Structure 1
Amino acid sequence: MSVARPARSLLGKCVASARTAQTIAAIPSCQHQLHTSIPRASKRRSRFRNVKAEEMGLLNPEKLAKYRQDKFPEYTKEELEMLSRKYTPEQLEALKAAEEAIDPEDLIFQGRLRDDPYRPQYVEDYTTLDPRYDVKPQIEGTPWEPQWLNPSDWADKYGSKLADLTDKKTNEQLTKAMVRALRRVKESNGAELIDLTEEELVDLERDPELLKKYLIEEDGEDKKADRGADDAAATITQEQVMKLDQAINEEWKKELSKISDGLDSGEIEPSNLDLIEDGPAGSSRLHSAEAPELGKVPGVEGLYKSAADPEDEGMDDDGRYQEIKRLTGMSLRDIQSIYRKVLVTRWVSNQTRLGKVRSTSVVAIAGNGNGRLGLGIAKSTEAGLAAETAQLLAIRNMKPIRRYENRTIYGKSTSKVSGTVVELFSRPPGFGLRCPHRIFEMCRAAGIHDIAASMPRSKNPMNSVKAAYSALMNQVDPEAIAIGRGKKMVDVRKVYYGGNVY
């Protein structure tokens, strides 16, 4: 039975009397009368104004011709002459062919050049690279063979390089001082004698390398003729030259005194970037196809990487056991002879905003088989790394376990971790290890041969290992009980059987 039809009919009967012809005509027709949204009276208008071809001037030949003349003019004679100076004939021919291949009418009709501040450079001379469009060119390098220098040659080469860099820095500081002296002389009384402008002096002080283009080398007949013409055109007298030299010398001495008094050593010493210029990230990488690997070069093998400990006889060159050797004081052979076993492996995950980060939790034991046992717990995203870390922690945490006759425990020992209870019982010689497999491995690592165990409650793997380790560590000490009671403790098995307990 439909519920919507009677409701709509009833609503129509109640409202029909209040409707008139005008109100009925004003209400727009809608297919879904029970729709929750309000019916739209008219078509939605676009937010953007339509641009017609008439407004753009695409239908007016005069406007098209004017636009073409403004945006795509023909080359003038002066422009062609400048292009011929800048480009070779082959390049000019290629430019003309490229411009003939593109019809300006297509650019005018199919799209207009943008005039906003963020427009790309449509017309350019391709002298600079734009990272938005251009691909970085590949620099052609020349491979070179590496030079394997001995320590003395390397030190000599490094020393000469350091001296050259220091001399270069010193010359730059002196050049800057000379430029400052010239500026002060020009400002005071030598404006007509020094032909360098203020902008050129500022550029010289900023970059002393520009001094090379102002230096004149005089050699040959042509140079002498040019010098004679310059002397004829010059109007500086001998007195003015002497006065200028004296003023420059005075300012030069002041600059030298300032340099000697307040110059920081860091301004002369080469920086780290200068020293590593020839390194793996320096400019010399441009001349190498690929940096060669060190490899085992004759005379270099073993010079840069030595064994972690020569006493290990090459068994631990990567230094994996060096930290555990330092903490325990044991040798590498003793550490490798220790019995290790992974008892519990769990795969856990941490829920983060990036998803589940999975990792492995490992519980391992280590023992020397002669009364020492250790427990290690580690977690890592790599299962192998977690197991290795847990075993090394177990070796570091090894502690002595109390044993009776070097084969079993003293009486009964009980321990509880969470809901897991472990009960250990001593047994006579030859009884063996009758216990769960994890406790079996722990007893074998500790050197216990006769024992019984029961777990009356939860059998959780991790809690069972922790409870068994706690039970072995917290055994009852009969000597402590005897001392507390003021009694003398005697082992009747050894007294009555003459020590024959096996």
Structure 2
Amino acid sequence: MMADENKNEDTQAAETKVDNAGSTPTPTTASTEAADNQSAEAGGQPQQREGRGGRGGRGGRDGGGRGRGRGRDRDDRRNRGDDDGEELIEKLVHINRVSKTVKGGKRFGFAALVVVGDGKGRVGFGHGKAREVPEAITKATASAKKKMIRVPLKEGRTLHHDGRGHFGAGKVNVRSAPAGTGIIAGGPMRAVFESLGVHDVVTKSIGTSNPYNMIRATFDALTNQSSPKAVAQRRGKKVADLLGRGGASEAEAEAAAEAIAE
């Protein structure tokens, strides 16, 4: 009996030692605050005791706020660069869809052709490719804004003289017209003249009907346009001298020279 009692006492003592060794003392609130204060005095940051919420606040509230601020500034700069105080006329001329057959099926892509102008003598065209139509149009519009050219207009409504344009298999003829004629053009050429701000013009496309080649041929004809003012400066003369050679009087030539606007 005495031996059994001694064994039981030894077993209870061993279990008590194991429990004491396996358990970890839990720090009290006072000791934790003291440790935080010591770390703060040493130049460090106090440990956050919020668990998952603290991590979320550190990455979502502080870091996320800084990320959103940078993105917002970048968007504002982009808007300020595009918004330069003028209203542009954007016209979608053509959208082409292509497909590529791959192992999983068909992969589609889109190409957009866009004409952009301010309606006051500046016009440009561009094309863009993307997997989605809106993204392709955005790329084409940005490309058109970078390649805008200025075309001299007579009285702000028509061309100064007739011209011809050529690109590849596309050939176009453009002619100035009196007031009230309107835009006699079709397809891509109409979009160019409407964006340019021309109100009276007669055009004819000869050859290909490819919208890309037609627009390039039209721009070739527009780049060859010159105004009497530019010709007079190049020749070292006055505009009235050039206009008076057709038999008009000096007063009429000067009046016509003053009426000419770029």
What does residue 381 of structure 1 align with? 131
**Residue 474 (structure 1) shift:** 2.3
What does residue 252 of structure 2 align with? 495
Aligned residues: 214
CA–CA distance in 1 between the matches of 2:78 and 2:223?
Answer: 26
The structure showing larger relative contact order (alpha-carbon pairs under 8 Å, at least 6 residues apart) is 2
**Residue 470 (structure 1) shift:** 2.2
Query: CA 1:318/1:482 → structure 2, altered by over 3 Å: closer, same or farther?
Result: closer
CA–CA distance in 1 between the matches of 2:44 and 2:203?
Answer: 77
1:306 aligns with 2:57: no
What does residue 394 of structure 1 align with? 144
Q: Assess if the C-alpha contact under 8 Å between 1:341 and 1:391 holds in 2.
A: no
Counterpart mapping for 1:321-400 below 5 A: 322-323=77-78, 326=81, 332=83, 334=85, 337-350=87-100, 356-400=106-150
Query: CA 1:307/1:365 → structure 2, altered by over 3 Å: closer, same or farther?
Result: farther
What CA RMSD, in Å, does the superposition of the two structures yield over aligned residues?
Answer: 4.5
Where 2:157 maps in the other structure, the secondary structure is coil
CA–CA distance in 2 between the matches of 1:457 and 1:321?
Answer: 46
Q: Assess if the C-alpha contact under 8 Å between 1:360 and 1:382 holds in 2.
A: yes
* Structure 1 stretches lacking a partner, 5+ long: 1-84, 86-155, 165-277, 279-283, 309-316
What are the Cα deviations for residues 200-240 of structure 1, in whole angstroms up to 9, with x where unaligned? xxxxxxxxxxxxxxxxxxxxxxxxxxxxxxxxxxxxxxxxx
**Larger strand share, 1 or 2:** 2
1:463 aligns with 2:213: yes
Query: CA 1:292/1:498 → structure 2, altered by over 3 Å: closer, same or farther?
Result: same
Query: CA 1:303/1:456 → structure 2, altered by over 3 Å: closer, same or farther?
Result: closer
Could you tell me which amino acid in structure 1 is paired with residue 199 of structure 2? H
Q: TM-score, normalised by structure 1?
A: 0.35
* Identity between Structure 1 and Structure 2 (%): 21
Query: CA 1:324/1:470 → structure 2, altered by over 3 Å: closer, same or farther?
Result: farther
Q: Assess if the C-alpha contact under 8 Å between 1:375 and 1:394 holds in 2.
A: yes
**Residue 497 (structure 1) shift:** 9.5
Counterpart mapping for 1:40-439 below 5 A: 160-161=44-45, 288=52, 305-306=68-69, 317=72, 319=74, 322-323=77-78, 326=81, 332=83, 334=85, 337-350=87-100, 356-439=106-189
Larger Rg: 1
Q: TM-score, normalised by structure 2?
A: 0.63
Query: CA 1:302/1:347 → structure 2, altered by over 3 Å: closer, same or farther?
Result: same
CA–CA distance in 1 between the matches of 2:173 and 2:91?
Answer: 22
Q: Assess if the C-alpha contact under 8 Å between 1:408 and 1:449 holds in 2.
A: yes
**Residue 478 (structure 1) shift:** 5.0
CA–CA distance in 2 between the matches of 1:467 and 1:404?
Answer: 21
The one of 427, 434, 451 equivalent to 2:201 is: 451
* Structure 2 stretches lacking a partner, 5+ long: 1-14, 16-39
CA–CA distance in 1 between the matches of 2:176 and 2:76?
Answer: 36
**Residue 346 (structure 1) shift:** 0.6
Where 1:334 maps in the other structure, the secondary structure is coil
**Residue 394 (structure 1) shift:** 1.3
CA–CA distance in 1 between the matches of 2:64 and 2:108?
Answer: 41
CA–CA distance in 1 between the matches of 2:107 and 2:76?
Answer: 29
CA–CA distance in 2 between the matches of 1:365 and 1:447?
Answer: 12
Runs of 4+ displaced beyond 6 Å: 299-303, 482-487, 491-494
Query: CA 1:484/1:411 → structure 2, altered by over 3 Å: closer, same or farther?
Result: same
CA–CA distance in 2 between the matches of 1:370 and 1:413?
Answer: 20
CA–CA distance in 1 between the matches of 2:99 and 2:134?
Answer: 17
